[in-house]
A and B are shown apart, each in its own frame.
Chain A
Amino acid sequence: MAIFGLWVINKAGGLVYQRTFADGLAQLTSNEYLILAGTLHGIHAITSRLSPIPGQCSGAQVIEGETFKLNVLLTLTGTKFVLLTSPAEPTAAIDTLLQKIYTAYSEKVMQNPFHTPEMPIRSEAFDMSLTALVH
């Protein structure tokens, strides 16, 4: 049971926030993170068009591997919150956590008048609420 890390991807596919909470993930350079986030954005766009059922589809929500699980929360505004966890982590708990992270984002990031939307997030308040939520 572990929550490894969080990414926030803006609607254009850029990584605006990346944070690691626990050991267990490969150490990547910031460039590699950007590439990964961009790739995920592309994959997500494809999956949202793969649905056999016509109409709106929110795309991939979970990508699971042997050692990790990647959970995606896509908001209606197009921002993606990606939570990397261990596969044992229950989905319901992850969904609640992601929703809480979104709330923290809306309060600490979007309501900060000095933050430019779609730009990288540098907010101590957001960092602090994340720490409180995850630990």
Chain B
Amino acid sequence: MATSSKQYLTRGEELWKGRSEKVNAELFALTYGALVVQLIQDYEDYSEVNKQLEKMGHNIGTRLIEDFLAKSNLGRCADFREVGEVVAKVGFKSFLNITPAIAHTTIRPGSTGSAPPQATNSAGSSFSLTFDENPLAEFVELPEDALEGGLWFSNVLCGVIRGALEMVQMQVQVEFVSDVLRGDETTELRVKLIKHLEEEVPVADD
């Protein structure tokens, strides 16, 4: 497990380096900020904004997964634990150049992400990602009413993960549990496996 998690790290690193088109991090953060502000103005309701961000992310995720699969050339994951590793170490690294710390909920290893060896066969049904840095939330400070309204500023990430995993036949529930922007200690995102979707069964057989 430890070796494969290292492999993922290097894989992610390679993919990030090999990416030909990159966008300036500040431009990215500012554009995203502008988007969130626009949504807030349009919907005037923070829970609705959260929902819209998630929806946008979902649409991004369903497309982004193709790019990810095409370039990473990774096979199917054996269990949900491995899914978590790949999402954190290859996915986030190759698209955002960050590696969130992963903690599997079944047994809580340290925030380093390297799991104890006996844990490999116990398929965890959820994992959480802790972000040390968040490129979306660069320069961001939430005003008082956004805090009261319950805005999850980076909620688009939830949607991206949900959309991407849905395309590879996994239904998951993704939500933020804490955010430094809200004054929490950490920014943590929880991904919970609901079920494996039936593999591409044709809808009608004629």
Q: Within the complex, which residue of B66, B199, B203 is in contact with A106, where a contact is CB–CB below 8 Å?
A: B66
Min CB–CB distance B205 → chain A (angstroms): 8
B22 within 8 A of A: no
* Chain B residue with Cβ nearest A107: B67
Contact for B65 among A41, A77, A99, A103, CB less than 8 A: A77
Q: Does A76 lie within 8 Å of B70, measured CB to CB?
A: no
**Residues on the B chain within 8 Å of A117, using CB:** 62-63
- Knowing A56-B76, A76-B76, A77-B167, say if A105 contacts B202 (CB, 8 Å): no
B67 contacts A77, CB within 8 Å? Answer: no
Classify chain B's interface size: 10 to 19
* Separation of A84 and B22 alpha carbons in the complex (Å): 35
Q: How far is the CB of B20 from chain A (nearest CB, A)?
A: 9
Interface of B: prevailing SS: helix
CA distance A76 to B196 in the complex (A): 14
Contact digits for A103-119, partner B, Cβ 8 Å, 1 yes 0 no? 10111001100000100
- Bound CA span A108–B202, Å: 26
Q: Does A77 contact B202, Cβ atoms closer than 8 Å? A: no
Number of interface residues of A (CB under 8 A): 20
In the bound complex, do residue A102 and residue B65 qualify as a contact, i.e. CB atoms below 8 Å apart? no
A23-39: CB near B (< 8 Å → 1, else 0) gives 00000000000000000
Residues of A with C-beta under 8 A to B195:
none
Which of B70, B168, B203 lies at the interface centre, i.e. has the most chain A CB atoms within 10 A of its CB? B70
Report whether A76 and B71 are in contact in the complex, using a CB–CB cutoff of 8 Å: no
In the bound complex, residues from chain A placing their C-beta under 8 Å from that of B76 are 56, 76
Q: Which residues 31-59 of A sit at the B interface, judged by CB distance below 8 A?
A: 41, 45, 56
Mask for B192-206, Cβ within 8 A of A = 1, else 0? 000000011011000
Q: Please list the 10 inter-chain residue pairs (A to B) with the smallest Cβ-Cβ separation, ordered nearest first.
A: A106-B66, A78-B200, A106-B67, A106-B70, A103-B70, A110-B63, A102-B70, A110-B66, A77-B167, A11-B200
Q: List 7 A-B contacts (CB under 8 A).
A: A11-B200, A12-B203, A75-B70, A77-B69, A79-B66, A105-B66, A110-B66
A residues at B contact (CB < 8 Å): 11-13, 41, 45, 56, 75-79, 99, 102-103, 105-107, 110-111, 117
Given A75-B70, A77-B168, 13 other A-B residues pairs in contact with their CB atoms under 8 A: A11-B200, A12-B202, A13-B202, A76-B76, A102-B70, A103-B70, A103-B71, A106-B66, A106-B67, A106-B70, A106-B71, A110-B64, A111-B63
